[in-house]
Amino acid sequence: MLKTSYIIALLSGIGFFNSCTGNFINYPEEPHYAYIKKEDTVYGSYLAGRVAHIRQDYSSAAMYYVKTMEKGMVNDDLLGKTYIILASEGEIDKAVKYANLARQNGDENNFIDVINAVHAFKHKNYRLSRSYLQKIDEKTYNNLISPLFNAWSYVGEDDYAKAKAEMEKISSADELKTVYNLHSGLIAEYFNEPETARKYYEAIINNQADDMSFRALQLISNFYVRQNQKDQAIALVSKYYQSNQMKELLTGLREKIKEEKPSVAPIVKTPDTGISEVFLEIALLFKSVPVGYDYAQMYMAVSQYFNKNNDIAKMALADLCEERMMYKEANKYYDTIGKKSEMFFPAQIKKANNLSYEKRYDEAVRVLKRLLRENPDNFQILFNLGDILRVSNHQDDAIKYYNEAINSIFYESERYWPVYYALAVSYDKNNEWPKAEQNLEKALKLSNRHPQVLNYLGYSWLKTNTNVDKAVSYILEAYEKEPNDGVIMDSLGWVYFKTGDYKNAILYLEKASELNPQNAIISDHLGDAYWFGGRKNEAVFLWKQALKQKDEEKELNIKNVKNKIENGLKNVSALTIKDENIKQSLHSLNDIAE
């Protein structure tokens, strides 16, 4: 894997969007709604495209932009938007037309040359494809993209010697060793040199033992199976089986290997599937840093253009959609992944999560229950079912699935603390505090005193005026670990409020409100502090705000808040902290704040 610093250096050396139009895939400026016409007019089509663009509905945006130009409205900005969006959707055959029109109008964006190179490669005009990339004189292209691209173009021309010569151009860069060895191995396989390919693959295994990508595992294990070395393929996959990030994927891959025969087809068997891997590799590099998301989306779409069956690319494109909260678009990619793919299980899990984010809870539950029928006792499915049922306020069912998830665990470890925490939350919401408290204590132990668990326990005790000293000590510890967490800051402010120190309560609750400005509970607490701090008009304002704000956990007592708005608050007895050390810790925070 490449270091982040190296990837950022790649980005800085790529004039990807040096177009005179300055177009990117995402975040166009808001259109001016001076006058909206019907979509069958030029301006109506343009406006519909802009609205779709802002909503990140790229296929509709491209359609309307094309309609606009077909009706006679053509300008540099529109051309730039159109070819960029078409390319980001993998519509290279359409994008090339508008990219070349833009070039004729003076657009110097390097991506026009990339689009032309990709289009020529796809149509087997390999020499022409190389000539387009040669026009781009930038470090990133010269040192990474062009050698890989050219190597596979020579594969298309059946010229192994020139393909190897291109690959040698990246052989000396330590950061590119894995890329060099992987593609050198794939090219050697294509030219029926399995022993040469083996040397390249083993170089990856030996040098990247602790950092093997799932795609490399797929490709290399596929090679071993075809070499009638299934045991070696299984051993390679099993070596990484304890990786939490890849465990479900590796389970699917291992089972697939067991079923495969030496006659199984190679994953990369044509120049198109080879160049698809190149663009996927580049896309994944850029996707690993947020500033590279636009580049990643472009290159992933190009990868899909060459190989529509690459499920890794589909997962990566879906993940980019999720980063932009485009959950429906993400699920469209997940729905194209078949049951026989190693990606099917994680794709369905992520699909259910996306449905949950959209509050389509019943659909999410159905997706997970279908998975559960084929994977009974699967911890991840059971845990996710519990989560969706908890947030949709079906606590009895959530408790059932959380407990089943816990029963599926073979041994307790730190990685399982969230299920005990989530179970505790459901018990708490179900008015079963003793069971909630028991599971919170378990989560606290397994998580090495995670601040979220400390805060939940401390705040819960504080609400009922029990274990006051311990509650305050837990909240202080949580605050020390996560001083910029708005919820923990709220709990600390509530400590001061409950102990009658309204000045400091206001101080910390205002900070909490700045960190979480839409949190109903924080607004309610700050309103209470304002009331006793003599700021009664502001208190009423905040209570009214609380009624309008987010309360996803349904913790806000609406009846109580409305009563406060009508009648205000009566004096309450302050809690007493007995432990002098805890008192001193609170005073120390006061000193720092002042």
DSSP annotation string for 142-158: IIIIHHHHHHHHHHHTT
Tokens of residue 391, six digits = 């947030």
Q: Which residues of the chain have pLDDT under 50?
A: 1, 12-13, 15-22, 27-38, 209, 592, 594
Q: Which residues pair with 550 in a beta bridge?
A: 519
For residue 15, the model assigns a pLDDT of 47
pLDDT in tens, 446-488: 999 999 999 999 999 999 999 999 999 999 999 999 999 999 9
Query: What DSSP state is assigned to residue 550?
Result: B
> Residue 440 in contact with residue 457, Cβ under 8 Å?
yes
Compute the distance between CA of residue 148 and CA of residue 142 in angstroms, rounded to an integer.
10
For residue 560, the model assigns a pLDDT of 94
For residue 4, the model assigns a pLDDT of 53
User: In the chain, where are the structural domains located?
Assistant: 133-308, 459-593
| CA distances to 221, 452, 534, 546 from 228, in Å | 11, 51, 81, 66
> Residue 27 in contact with residue 35, Cβ under 8 Å?
no
Q: Among 154, 160, 109, 102, which Cα is nearest to 130's?
A: 154
| CA distances to 388, 406, 444 from 419, in Å | 13, 7, 12
CATH superfamily of 459-593: Tetratricopeptide repeat domain (1.25.40.10)
Query: Is there a common fold for 133-308 and 459-593?
Result: yes
Count helices and strands in the chain by DSSP H and E runs:
33, 0
For residue 33, the model assigns a pLDDT of 38
pLDDT in tens, 369-424: 999 999 999 999 999 999 999 999 999 999 999 999 999 998 888 989 999 999 99
Q: Which residues pair with 519 in a beta bridge?
A: 550
| Domain at 133-308: CATH architecture | Alpha Horseshoe (1.25)
Compute the distance between CA of residue 397 and CA of residue 505 in angstroms, rounded to an integer.
38
CB atoms inside a 10 Å sphere around CB 487: 19
